[in-house]
Each structure stands twice: as C-alpha cells, then as structure tokens.
Amino acid sequence: MENLIKKAAKDLAKSKKVVVLTGAGVSVESGIPPFRGKGGIWEKIDPMEFAHIDSFMRDPAKVWNILIREMKDVIEKAKPNNAHIGLARLEELGILKSVITQNVDGLHQLAGNTDVIEFHGTFAFQRCLKCEKKIETSKVCLDEIPPKCECGGILRPDCVLFGEMIPPEHLFRSGKISRECEVMLVVGTSAVVYPASIIPVDAKESGAKIIEINPEKTPLTENISDYIIMGNAGEVLKEIVSEVELLL
C-alpha cells in the first residue's frame, strides 16, 4: 500500500486537472453509515420501500419516521473527516478541480471544496411538494410527521430518490468534466448505482487515469481502474496529501 500511495501522490502532483467522484464510504469515518455492505442502511431497510419516490408519495410519514428522521439526526452531528479535509487540501494545492459526490451530507463543502456537484441533490434543504419552497433542514420542526411547509404542503428531502431523474445540469456538467480530466480519484463508492457508476468509465474512455480508494474491490477495479488503494478514505487521503506536499 505504501508504494501505491507514493504512486498516487506522483500521479496527482504532476496533474492540474483532477476530479474526484465520491460515495458514501467517504463519510463513514464521519459516522454516517454507507448504504451497502457491513452496517449499510439497505441491509436494514429495503430501498424500494423507503427511498423510492412512489413509496414516499404513498406514505410520507412512514418514510420520514424510518429513514429521513434518522438521516437528519446523523447528518446534523457529522463533521468532515480526514478524507474530506484531504480533498479540500488538494484543491488548495491547485491539483483538484471539482468534486462529484453522490453524498447529500454537505461535508465536502464544509471541509472547503468550492466546486462540488451534488449528483444526488442535497439533504441541507427540504422541499415543499406543493409550492416547491425550500426550507433549511436544520430549521424543520419534527413535532408533526410528515413535517409541513407554511402553505400546508408536505416536505420532502431535496435529494434524488429512486425512480427520479438526476438533475440534467448535474448530469451534463459531470459528463463534461469527467471527459476533460487527466486523473479521476474514485473514493468510497460501490459504483453500482447508475448513472453515477458510468462517470469513471467516461473518464477512462477519454484518457484519464483512474485511481480508486476503497477497502473493498468494486466492479470498476479490474476493468476500469488503473489501480486501487485498499484502505479507509481518511487514512489513505491523509497520507497521499502528505506525500504530494513533499513533491511540490
């Protein structure tokens, strides 16, 4: 692993056009559970029953009680970890240009990254189903479930649920920057949810080097990634940044 960290540092230090794609694994060290694998949310509850737009529309109170309330609690407590901090440092060093994240927790922005594409939307706001007004999640009162907007409409997270489209502007911009980058870091994603899973494939086909950071192999590992650094994102990124700083 030591050699691969040095190799990644060299690949990053000599590139000025780096993009990172992140997934739930990047926030695990901040106390936010992933969706799949050990301790994953979808091990306990069925995503089609609790994270599909049709289920939400059928029974918003059930989805608020089982999933959204818990997410609010966990995300409100979370702070950026060494993975977010390392990625923010890579931007400061002029190496990392953009973050494409599947996460909705806002931790990349909190750590200091300035160009963050929230591919699956954000949990920072709840949106009224009736008047479309957005309300900061931290200001939403949970005395009544489902919570309502002042117009009486039901509030839903401003995130993409299963069965919904990715906002076209995010899809377009992610495609563009992934086709233009020289190196793509793919950190903490199982890379099984389409269309985010296709982003590293696009980057690779356009000539980018793909470096994965993940304790487990993914469907990208053998075919798309140039190499994988098998470890926790926080620890690995901290070491990579230290090595990069020695090279600059």
Which residues sit at the interface with ligand OAD, rule CB under 6 A? 23-25, 28-29, 34-37, 40, 47, 51, 102, 120, 160, 162, 188-190, 193, 214-216, 218, 232-233
- Of 36 and 84, the one with the shorter C-beta distance to ligand OAD is 36
CB of 14 to ligand OAD, least distance (A): 24
131 annotated ligand binder? yes
The question of whether 120 is a catalytic residue gets the answer yes
| Amino acid, single-letter form, for residue 15 | S
Please list, in sequence order, all residues whose beta carbon lies within 8 angstroms of the beta carbon of residue 59, skipping any fewer than 6 positions away.
none
- Of 148 and 173, the one with the shorter C-beta distance to ligand OAD is 173
- Of 51 and 149, the one with the shorter C-beta distance to ligand OAD is 51
DSSP structure class, residue 165: P
DSSP-assigned letters across all residues of 41-72:
HHHHS-HHHHSBHHHHHH-HHHHIIIIIHHHH
Among residues 52, 84, 108, 120, which one is catalytic? 120
CB of 1 to ligand OAD, least distance (A): 13
Q: Evaluate the omega torsion of the peptide bond into residue 146 and state whether it is cis, within 30 degrees of 0.
A: yes
CB of 169 to ligand OAD, least distance (A): 17
159 annotated ligand binder? no
Please list, in sequence order, all residues whose beta carbon lies within 8 angstroms of the beta carbon of residue 139, skipping any fewer than 6 positions away.
none
How far from 18 is each of 12, 93, 98, 172, 188, CA to CA, in Å?
7, 11, 7, 18, 17
Residues with catalytic function:
120
* Annotated binding-site ranges: 128, 131, 149, 151
Residues annotated in a binding site for Zn(2+): 128, 131, 149, 151
